[in-house]
Amino acid sequence: MTESAPIDPTATDAWKQLTGIASGFAPDLRGWFASDADRAETYTFPAGDLTVDLSKNLVTEEILAQLLELAKDAGVAERYQAMISGEHINVTEDRAVLHTALRRPAPGTEAAAQLDPAAGFVVDGADIDAEVHATLEKVYAFADRVRDGSWTGVTGKRIETVVNIGIGGSDLGPVMVYEALKPYVQEGLEARFVSNIDPSDIYEKTAGLDPETTLFIVASKTFGTLETLTNARLARQWLWERLGASGAISDDDEARTAAVAKHFVAVSTALDKVAAFGIDPENAFGFWDWVGGRYSVDSAIGTSLAIAIGPDGFRDFLAGFHALDEHMRTTPLERNVPVLMGLLNVWYTNFLDAQSHVVLPYAQYLHRFPAYLQQLTMESNGKSVRWDGTPVVTDTGEVFWGEPGTNGQHAFYQLIHQGTRLIPADFIAVANPAHPLKDETGDGKAVTPGADVHSLFLANFFAQTKALAFGKTADEVRAEGTAESVVPARVFSGNRPTTSILAPALTPSVVGQLIALYEHIVFTEGTIWGIDSFDQWGVELGKQLALEIAPAVDGDAAALASQDSSTKALIAKYLSLRTN
Ligand code: F6P
């Protein structure tokens, strides 16, 4: 079934009301908190293990009521139900969108009994639960063999390094989660991630590796991505050369095939192409065209993670996603955290003219989370046409960016605090650090001996959202004895919106919950805007042109001559500079 035409959100009464509120809007977080002792409580919601405080957003009861009306008018809850039921809401590719099915509990378990449908989840003639869990079991069995050393390289040595070769969704999710869950990685195992076709990437990532203990996972949904296939060939070449040079294998096809069989596995929806590359389909893990690349870290694309953190860790990771899926499915819109966060983003983007959104994890292990979210949010919602092919009627897709705190504080927070742009910010922290270190000596001033460093860290998390919300008035600056001439430079306007997300610890489950939270925020915004958040036609033109231009860059005069004057001159310059 395809989708009905999207509504025009700008034609709704809610939109008109919000437009009215936004004109001359004078947010007053100081006043709102002063006059409402319950504001923090009113706007703080649980979602799985996450506590989400929305109270420092530029929102009032009236605004929220209208945003919720908008969500109802756009049918957010109904479309979510359609999505998880397997309707083809990816209309431009005529596909179901079923990443939520990747984390449905195994059939027959207690958790599965709560599901809708509890059993027999058939979409387009396929038993989805059965297929998903059969693949997961295959991934888990393989992961166990690598972890316990029963899967060895061609010379019989156990695997010590797993190198994931993929790009976009076949890289960003695995690398982000690997970094996030480092404390859960089995001792003696390491994962590395090669994505860029820049040869420096694979050169650096294979540097120092022992080919006899290295396993490559070629992760590509399509198995047709130039970067990934090029890197996979370079990896195979590296393996053959190194094994051959040390005399570990002989220089013949049979030995080379045997080496690939033990050192290469693949993850793809295109198992025929996997076989054509020389990887035994027995050593390939499948997934389905109903999973978008950027939604696939919880599929076999996460095989490097299942190896690193183990099947139990991966199950916990999936359970975290599922907890948020159930929150999204069953929680009324008024308390539904991803819906509320998505609606606030619409409020800032479409009514208060925000152009970007910053995500600031106060957790060093989440240092790749903003990069991960860039693909999730911008590849999903960076669209100018709606799912029926008509132009969008309002702005879409904010620019997502960020860095971990406190590093960002010493770099770009200046602009967030005192710049001219409105930048809504999500602050993320965990209560229990992986390494609860104490500063035994302190500094004799602010930091007392024995200070808990994580608390010191989180003091920044709490301080930043406070400073952004409440600012500092000129009178407060003067009261500190500041010279009048510099008072204006030291004033903080406040009323800079933040959301605080607090989790107990950075467990596999919590990482899954955080990812699903943002997936559903993206969904909510996409539904309001009427766009298909699950295709990515915008990346195709560049790929196509790169292939067309490649002969010119390689010195083909006729191909060079057919380029526009700027491209021609740039390539000519490149060729004249190239010396090696
Ligand atoms: O560049 C776009 C894209 O299609 C992403 O959506 C995807 O995650 C990435 O390329 C990699 O694709 P594949 O997994 O098919 O190699």
Residues 294 and 409 in one domain: no
Which residue lies with its CA nearest to atom 2 of ligand 1? 539
**Which CATH number does the domain housing residue 524 bear?**
3.40.50.10490
Which residue lies with its CA nearest to atom 8 of ligand 1? 169
Residues 196 and 337 in one domain: no
Residues 142 and 31 in one domain: no
The distance of Cα 343 from the centroid of its chain, to the nearest Å, equals 19
422: nearest Cα among 403, 399, 404: 399
Residues 166 and 260 in one domain: yes
AA identity, residue 225: T
Largest CA distance in the chain: 82
> How many CA atoms, within 13 angstroms, populate the side-chain half-sphere of residue 515?
34
Residues 273 and 341 in one domain: no
Residues 416 and 501 in one domain: yes
Residues 203 and 249 in one domain: yes
Give the list of residues 6+ apart from residue 184 with CB closer than 8 angstroms, or none.
Answer: 308, 309, 310, 313, 508
Quick one: three-class SS letters along 507-537? Answer: CHHHHHHHHHHHHHHHHHHHHHHCCCCCCCH
Task: Quote the ligand 1 centre to 171 CA distance (angstroms).
Answer: 9
Ligand 1 neighbours (beta carbon < 6 A)? 166-170, 220-222, 225, 228, 293-294, 379, 536, 539
For residue 222, the ligand 1 atom closest to its alpha carbon is 15
Confirm whether 320 is domain-assigned: no
Task: Quote the ligand 1 centre to 538 CA distance (angstroms).
Answer: 12
CA distances to 3, 339, 342, 385 from 523, in Å: 15, 9, 8, 16
Would you state the pLDDT for residue 2? 52
CA distance 534 to 81: 16
CA distances to 125, 331, 464 from 497, in Å: 46, 24, 11
Most ligand 1 atoms within 8 A of CB, residue of 170, 172, 544 to mutate? 170
Which residue lies with its CA nearest to atom 6 of ligand 1? 293
For residue 293, the ligand 1 atom closest to its alpha carbon is 8
Instruction: Name the residue range of residue 169's domain.
Output: 122-306
Strands 214-219 and 44-47: unpaired
Residues 479 and 567 in one domain: no
Task: Quote the ligand 1 centre to 167 CA distance (angstroms).
Answer: 6
Most ligand 1 atoms within 8 A of CB, residue of 375, 539, 540, 541 to mutate? 539
For residue 173, what are its two tokens?
């999710």
Backbone angles phi, psi at 238, to 5 degrees: -60, -45
pLDDT tens for the chain, 580 residues long, are 457 899 999 999 999 999 999 999 999 999 999 999 999 999 999 999 999 999 999 999 999 999 999 999 999 999 999 999 999 999 999 999 999 999 999 988 888 888 877 777 899 999 999 999 999 999 999 999 999 999 999 999 999 999 999 999 999 999 999 999 999 999 999 999 999 999 999 999 999 999 999 999 999 999 999 999 999 999 999 999 999 999 999 999 999 999 999 999 999 989 899 999 999 988 999 999 999 999 999 999 999 999 999 999 999 999 999 999 999 999 999 999 999 999 999 999 999 999 999 999 999 999 999 999 999 999 999 999 999 999 999 999 999 999 999 999 999 999 999 999 999 999 999 999 999 999 999 998 989 999 999 999 999 999 999 999 999 999 999 999 999 999 999 999 999 999 999 999 999 999 999 999 999 999 999 999 999 999 999 999 998 999 999 999 999 999 999 999 999 999 999 999 999 9
For residue 166, the ligand 1 atom closest to its alpha carbon is 16
Confirm whether 353 is domain-assigned: yes
Confirm whether 113 is domain-assigned: no
Task: Quote the ligand 1 centre to 20 CA distance (angstroms).
Answer: 41
For residue 170, the ligand 1 atom closest to its alpha carbon is 14
Residues 443 and 498 in one domain: yes
Residues 228 and 272 in one domain: yes
Would you state the pLDDT for residue 1? 43
Confirm whether 98 is domain-assigned: no
Which residue lies with its CA nearest to atom 1 of ligand 1? 539
> Which residues are annotated as catalytic?
379, 410, 543
Confirm whether 89 is domain-assigned: no
Would you state the pLDDT for residue 107? 87
Residues 573 and 445 in one domain: no
Confirm whether 362 is domain-assigned: yes
Confirm whether 31 is domain-assigned: yes
How many domains does the chain contain in total? 3
For residue 271, what are its two tokens?
């198992």
Confirm whether 102 is domain-assigned: no
Task: Quote the ligand 1 centre to 261 CA distance (angstroms).
Answer: 25
Give the list of residues 6+ apart from residue 460 with CB closer than 8 angstroms, or none.
Answer: 362, 405, 406, 409
Most ligand 1 atoms within 8 A of CB, residue of 221, 222, 373, 376 to mutate? 221
For residue 536, the ligand 1 atom closest to its alpha carbon is 6
Task: Quote the ligand 1 centre to 291 CA distance (angstroms).
Answer: 11
Residues 149 and 280 in one domain: yes
Task: Quote the ligand 1 centre to 359 CA distance (angstroms).
Answer: 23
